[in-house]
Structure 1
Amino acid sequence: MTQWVELPMENGSVRRKDRSGWVLAVIVFAAEFIFGCYLYAVKGDIQEDALSRVANAFYVLFSRNPHLGAIGFVWNPLPSMFELPPVALWRWFPPVASDALAGVFITSVASAAIAFALHRALLWAEVSKTTSIVVVLCLALHPFMFLYGANGMSEMIFACFLVISLLNYLSWKDDRAVSRLVMAGCALAMAFWARYEAVAFGVGLFAVVLSDALRRAPADAQVRLLMSRRDYRRFRRQERLWYAAATALVLLLPAVYSGIMWMVLNAEIMHDPLYFLHSAYSNLSLTSMLSSASKYRAIEHHPVRVLLFMWERIWVFMIPVGMLLVYRLIRGRLVRWETLQLLVLAASIPSLQFLLLLHGASYGWLRFFFYPLPIAVAWWTYEMRSDARQLERRWRELAQVAMAASIVISGVFTGIIMERNANVAPEEYSLLHMDKNEVIQQLRIQQQIAQYINQDLPRATVLMDSYSAFDVILHVRQPRHLVITSDYDFANALRYPWTHHVQYILVPDPVNGYQFDAVNRIYPTLYAHGAPWVRLEKSFGTWRLYRVLEPFAESRALVRQGFFEHKEGLHPNLRERKWYPP
């Protein structure tokens, strides 16, 4: 059933139940979903990361060994878990997986949820319905927010829980209701399951909540009357500390528990509690190549250069934050704790990026710096609630126009950067210019491989690493014939292909990150030089499909002589292993 929202009017009475939030959410969802379907299903302009998230959900349901652990233990699993229900429709509607429409659906829902939450918060701050809709639509139609609400990436899902967490914290600042703090903590935990940046935001949120708890711990007037002034001061210090500790525990417990559980799952299944941090597929491995790029090598270990690099990307998203600071200055509230709290929250995630860029562990993409924008709009609801009874209606409306204008100005500059500046916004620029998008070209090659497998090798057992070949897997009609990374026997099948009935092995060119492909890690020269135990079946641009030959006496002799070890690049760890059935 539809849950109605009761909204207080300026005269103290209660408005009749209102549907505007739900209507607004439906409009935002429809716009995002239609645009995403056009972008992905019609134009074929797909974001690689969005497709890989859908693929992770696909492995859970349609691989040789369907199991929840197939969702992966490197990237946060929540986006792929949300995508499981729509991906389940793959048999009847393949584009839901092959064109990443499951991801488009989920991010459209997240964008609609942000619009609904902000609209409701503004109405509770006694902002007029029309003005609230205008502000929320300005944010939803901001070029960056609109693009990432439609492209299936994890950023909008994370931003949704970030906004929900922040709105509940701001409500707690007013009424001190523990339920609000609990909801803020639960939303923070959900944000962690979406993206690791939640750790940085959680540290910032913890700092501001702790400062509120220490400054505004509730006092009991009756206790004050029963104690001397000196005893009461000592009691109040202890009371503040206990209240702050209890408040922090309520806020952080869900997120800390989530982090511990994630490490426990990594330890139990992958045999390494920090597998997500330093495995071959982790962010640290992927960014290990950055030192070879002059752009990143120039800023590594140079704090000032890192700050300039960040400012070039973040300033467009800081315009609404600047408007907030001007508003607080006009209202005489600039030099207050709340101003520092706003800046701490806005700088929390960029601070993490500063540390990563400083140590050469981040690509510094534009999407890593947009979070101050939704944080500023969420904080705006608190400003309006604080001034609900103090400002005349016309001044409140003027303030709303100023916020909407700051979002529009931010959107205009962001759109220009995304359209014209490939250096600052490489991902967005590539998405808007398909003819220059190398990722799309690689995905099309993978689709050609899948088409070849469907037509010429429909029942063959083909081994491939889903880290790099996920688009092949999503386009194959019989995925249960594939041996992929999440299968229980993948590691052994890769080392002993004959005993696991592997007929073909798909190998990518070990450049541009594909050196981390499991096949290339085990056989580093297989792509370039082949091996006596395989025969080249077909080449697809930067991919090669090898047929695994049956073992015979001559090849066994070559194995015993170490020919494979020294001439064909067999991994040193495998030199003592047999490559044929006993």
Structure 2
Amino acid sequence: MRRASRGPGLAIFAATFVLYLAVGVYLASGLHVYVGDSLSRVQSAQSVLFSRDPHLAAIGFIFTPLTAIVQLPLTALTPWWPELTTEAISAAVMSAAFMAGSVVQISGVARDRGLPGWMGGLITVCYAINPMIVFYGANGMSEAPYLFFLAWASRRLVRWVDTDDVHELVVAAMALGFGYLTRYDGGAATMAAALLVGLVSFRRAEKVGTPPSTRWYRTILDVGLVVLPSAVAFVGWALTSWLITGNAFAQFSSEYGNASIIEQSGGSGSDTAEAALRFSMTELAILAPLFPLLLVAVVVTRATRRRLYPLLPTVLLIGAVLAFQILSYSRGSTFGFLRFYITVIALAAIVALLAVPARRTAPVRRPGVYAAMPVVESRRRPVTIMGIAAVVTMLVAIPVTAWGMTSPKYAPQEFALTAVVAPRPDSTERKHLDAQRVLRSFSTERALAQYLDSLDLPEGSVLCDTVYGFAVVVASTRPKQFVIPSDQDFTTILNDPAAHGVQYLLSVPNEGRGSADALNIRYPTLYDNGSQISVLVLEARNDGANLPDWRIYRVIPR
């Protein structure tokens, strides 16, 4: 029996956490560069604790809850450190910790297998400093925890395939359950895990001559173990949403859900299934250009050695997530964002670490009856051409990904970083001007928040929806001045703002995503003329990209 040492993992975690957090604080506090979904989750956590109607259900049911829940302890410190919320530092801490955790899991695969230090170290470093990994470890998005849970589940299932240790299966199941609470496409990973576990359990029992009844019993038990946490998460989250909102799957059917966002934004950008497939393949090539060649080589080598099973967990789990994303984009049900394919970087790293034979057995608490430990190679045996190819695969990905992230077409959410890395303030090139505007996203909303804060308004004085208004609310040091949709009396106040002490209305154009704004639904001409209930006080043209202009109306008192 061998147990894994925690020392190297802690050192790796500390080093990468500091790196990602430093980048995150620089982007958020130094440059005020934010990503919308990250700010939205910060605002959700803020609403749970510091809105005028604080309650747990204010976390919302469009996004999965884990990233916002994790931020709650830090958000609670906002009265003493306002920047945790107003500058989204809590989000940077969250993503930095989870991304550092994913690096620990990647390096853990190398340590589990006793790979040469230079090989495991280089592959881990290449993963850790990949530009996409650094950016999404710093910006507070859900990609960091999602990568962590996928890498954690993959590592544990690789160990389970060798050891048949039920502890590994249970931990993998927990990781998959948390993965679903991070991103809904985590359900695809769970289904792939169920397929893998069922296949391995049944075939392994069959090989040793286990009676059919026992074979099926064991297979069903193992599949049930790996699926149960995700099933509980799925049913629990849907049931909670239904009890509170009357909608079990608000992420799909709500006017704030993904389908509505795509429709309001004019479509996903995938004109035909064939074009969408080409686009997805290009995205994957940007993130892992040599991975397909490495995968084929590793599959052939392992098939020759009759050791394919340890490769299956990672390929099936993360492959299912990527297949789900490609299918979703081809059907026009999601956007063509580079970050949606980021899991291929973790897939490439783990496959690279499985490219050479293990040099020691995996850590194990209690080997199962169907354990199939690998034949351990001599530690003095030199690394083969496969090991070198694995390292080269990860090395080449770094400059290719950095180059791909400069493309407005293939990296619409990342290309603006070129203006951070190589600023050209005097440039008049269209691409650079577009990048500058992306970097200025939410600067107008911050200015509006500062203006409203300066008025020293009482609680419940400003009525707004959070379709776009989340960025104003989260930047404010006085969140209780806002009446927002998560407030239980929002609809009542919306129907008669003057009678409930509302002084100002935040309005956006009644078009695109603004058509889902509750104020526009209730008062369709509000942005144009105040709908005869308010008068224009201030108009602000938006400096950011793909964000609406704002008008602030003062409510006409009765």
TM-score by length of 1: 0.84
Q: Equivalent of 2:402, from 410, 415, 420?
A: 415
Equivalence for 2:556:
549
Aligned residue in 1 for 2:366: none
| Greater alpha carbon shift after TM alignment, 378-387 vs 62-71 | 378-387
CA contact (8 A) 1:126 1:385 kept: no
* 1:148 Cα offset (Å): 0.7
1:102-148 CA distance string (max 9 Å, x none) = 11111111121112222233122112344423221111001111111
Aligned to 2:149: 161
Matching of residue 313 in structure 1 with residue 283 in structure 2: yes
Which secondary structure does the structure 2 equivalent of 1:196 belong to? Answer: coil
The counterpart of 1:436, out of the listed 434, 443, 450, is 434
Residue 36 of structure 1 and its aligned partner are, at CA, apart by: 1.0
**1:458 equivalenced with 2:457 (yes/no):** yes
Unmatched 5+ stretches in structure 1: 8-16, 225-234, 552-582
Deviation track 1:78-100 (CA, whole Å, cap 9, x = no partner) reads 00111111122212222211111
Please say if residues 313 and 424 of structure 1, whose CA atoms lie closer than 8 Å, have aligned partners that are also in contact.
yes
Rg comparison, structure with higher value: 1
Q: Could you say which residue in structure 2 is the equivalent of 1:370?
A: 342
How many percent identity over aligned positions? 25
* Compared CA separation, residues 292 and 402, structure 1 to 2 (3 A): closer
Matched AA of 2:229 = P
Q: Secondary structure at the match of 1:535?
A: strand
Counterpart residue identity of residue 538, structure 1: L
Q: 1:334 to 1:347 in 2, by over 3 A?
A: farther
In structure 1, the residue matched to 2:535 is 535
Q: What SS is found at the alignment partner of 1:536?
A: strand
Q: Which one of the candidate residues 121, 137, 147 is aligned to 1:149?
A: 137
Residues 480-513 of structure 1 deviation map (CA, whole Å, 9 limit, x = unaligned): 1211121111111111212322111111123442
Q: Is the CA contact 2:120–2:353 (under 8 Å) kept in the aligned structure 1?
A: no
1:447 and 2:446 aligned: yes
For residues 192-211 of structure 1, the aligned pairs below 5 Å read 192-211=180-199
C-alpha change, 1:442 and 1:401, in structure 2 (3 Å) is same
CA distance in 2 between partners of 1:373 and 1:485 (Å): 38
Q: CA separation in 2, counterparts of 1:545 and 1:275?
A: 29
Change (3 A) 1:35 1:250: same
Q: How far has the Cα of 1:63 moved from its partner? A: 0.3
Deviation at 1:379, TM superposition (A): 4.2
Q: Is the 8 A contact 1:321 1:372 kept in 2?
A: no
1:282-331: per-residue Cα shift (whole Å, max 9, x none)? 111101145557x43x22xx3x2221121111123343353243134345
> Does structure 1 conserve the Cα–Cα contact (< 8 Å) formed by 2:287 and 2:400?
no
> Does the CA contact (< 8 Å) of 1:264 and 1:273 recur in 2?
yes
Alignment correspondent of 1:69: 57
Q: Any idea what the Cα deviations from partners look like across 1:220-261, whole Å, max 9, x if unmatched?
A: 7xxx7xxxxxxxxxx733332222211110000010010000
Aligned partners of 1:63 and 1:99: how far apart in 2?
A: 17
Residues 141 and 394 of structure 1, relative CA distance in 2, 3 Å threshold: farther
Structure 2 letter corresponding to 1:357: Y
Kept in 2: contact 1:170–1:379 (CA 8 A): no
Matches within 5 A, 1:32-111: 32-111=20-99
1:3-44: CA deviations, max 9, x gaps? xx955xxxxxxxxx6622211211111111111111111011
Task: Provide closer, same or farther for how the CA distance between residues 503 and 444 of structure 1 changes in structure 2, counting only shifts above 3 A.
Answer: same
Is the counterpart of residue 281 in structure 1 residue 256 in structure 2? yes
Q: For residue 518 of structure 2, what is the amino acid of its counterpart?
A: A
CA-CA distance at 1:386 after TM superposition:
4.4
Q: Secondary structure at the match of 2:554?
A: strand
C-alpha distance in structure 2 between counterparts of 1:353 and 1:332, whole Å: 28
Query: What letter matches 2:555 in structure 1?
Result: V
Task: Describe the superposition over 1:134-166 as per-residue Cα deviations: whole angstroms up to 9, x where unpaired.
Answer: 221111001111111111110111110111111
SS at the partner of 2:52? coil
SS for the counterpart of 1:396 is: coil
2:119, 2:391 within 8 Å by CA — same for their partners in 1?
A: no
The question of whether the paired residues in 1 share the 8 Å contact of 2:13 and 2:103 is answered with yes
Equivalent-residue separation in structure 2 for 1:344 and 1:116 (angstroms): 21
Once residues 342 and 167 of structure 1 are traced to their aligned partners in structure 2, the CA distance between those partners, rounded to angstroms, is 8
Tell me by how many angstroms 1:332 deviates.
5.0
Q: Distance in 2 between matches of 1:62 and 1:341?
A: 42
Contact 1:462 1:504 in 2 (8 A): yes
Is the CA contact 1:464–1:483 (under 8 Å) kept in the aligned structure 2?
yes
CA RMSD of aligned residues (A): 2.4
Contact 2:147 2:343 in 1 (8 A): yes
Give the whole-Å Cα distance in 2 for the aligned partners of 1:62 and 1:155.
26
**Contact 2:265 2:513 survives alignment (8 Å):** no
DSSP-derived class of the 2:382 partner:
helix
Question: Which residue does the alignment assign to 2:238?
Answer: 263
Which secondary structure does the structure 2 equivalent of 1:45 belong to? coil
Report how many residues are paired. 519
Pairing 1:510-521 to 2, within 5 Å after superposition = 510-521=510-521
Specify the alignment match of 1:396 in structure 2. Answer: 383
Q: Which moved more, 1:381-390 or 1:400-409?
A: 381-390
The 5-angstrom pairing of residues 499-518 of structure 1 reads 499-518=499-518
Letter in 2 for 1:183: V
- Matched to 1:38, the amino acid is Y
